[in-house]
Amino acid sequence: MSDRVLSPLIRARDAVWRPTAASLRLLALLSVIGNAVIIATGGAVRVTESGLGCPKWPKCTGDSLVPTHSPEHPAVNMAIEFGNRMVTFLVLGIGLLVFVAALRLRPRRRDLVLLAAAQPLSVVAQAIIGGIVVLTELHPASVSLHFLLSPALLVFCVALWVRAGEGDAPPRALVGPWVRRLAWALTVATGAVLVVGTVVTGTGPHAGDADSRRFGFNIEDVTRVHSLLAWTTVALTVALLAALHRTDAPPAVRRLAQALFALELGQGLVGYVQYFLGVPAPLVVLHMIGSALMWIVVLRLLLAVRDRGSQPAPAPAPGPTEAPQPA
């Protein structure tokens, strides 16, 4: 095999087996992207009524791991649901590579190992709950929990992405206490928007299958609650922007707050358009992608208001005959 072909493979191997802080950050970023993608593919499963495209779990059908011809389940629905399952395995694979790289990083950093370990474990939990979703025939509570595991997993992914580029010094505030409180309030409000959003989806028309159960709430009521929380998030973002303008905040924090505000405006536009157009499927998926991006930016913003110092000096990874250093 030519050196041109081998070189990228060697670099990919070294990124995991002989990692640097930079290569671990790249792997963590891939994990962030993978979990955002699975939110989008999960949305596609719901809006195309493909939630039971693979009616069994862990197999797709009663006797096959992969989609096979079935008179009861259209091929396109089976393909969409099976594709979403394959993305789960991709995210699991990335999570395992992240964990190995965190273990191999020298000097080893315990918090990075713990953040990395949470990723494959969370994906396994998500796969198990995905099986419960199928076995309960898309009960809205299990579907909501299945979705919410992705934002929960993104907490670990984003934290690792940021922490791999920092040191281990005690956190040092880069902004005043009121700005930190606003950042925390904004994070909580955004999380509440995500939770109530699952209730709206579980009450509305896109529940994953034409015959699946919905929550028994009034759709107008839950939509109003969701809208109120969304406007609360916008108000907190405006307050944060004003506070950052009046203080000597780092430029990175300002840029993240501005990016969040722009995403919120886009999300609001998509949300109102889909409401007045009767919740068309493409806009639902777009709205879910926007929610994932908002959550990532909010987490980055929360972590940007403090500093943990410079990265530790790198140490060589153990060679093939060299015993690993104790943690």
Task: Give the mean pLDDT of 307-324.
Answer: 64
Say yes or no to pLDDT of 45 above 70: yes
Residue 305 to residue 316: CA distance in whole angstroms? 32
C-beta of residue 61 within 8 angstroms of C-beta of residue 5: no
Say yes or no to pLDDT of 146 above 50: yes
The pTM assigned to this predicted structure is 0.89
Residue 224 to residue 222: CA distance in whole angstroms? 5
Residues in contact with 263: Cβ distance below 8 Å, sequence separation at least 6, in sequence order: 290, 293, 294, 297
The confidence band for 315, taking pLDDT boundaries of 50, 70 and 90, is low
Domain residue ranges of the chain, discontinuous segments joined by +: 11-165, 172-311
Residues in contact with 85: Cβ distance below 8 Å, sequence separation at least 6, in sequence order: 54, 60, 130
Task: Give the mean pLDDT of 66-78.
Answer: 79
pLDDT the model gives residue 317:
46
The confidence band for 51, taking pLDDT boundaries of 50, 70 and 90, is confident
Say yes or no to pLDDT of 183 above 80: yes
**Residue at 85: amino acid letter:** R
**pLDDT, tens digit (0-9, with 9 covering 90-100), for 244-292:** 999 888 999 999 999 999 999 999 999 889 888 888 888 989 999 999 9
**pLDDT, tens digit (0-9, with 9 covering 90-100), for 188-232:** 999 999 999 999 888 877 766 666 778 888 888 999 999 999 999
The enclosing H or E element of 173 equals strand 172-173
Query: Given phi > 0 = left and psi -120 to 50 = alpha, else beta, which region is 172?
Result: beta
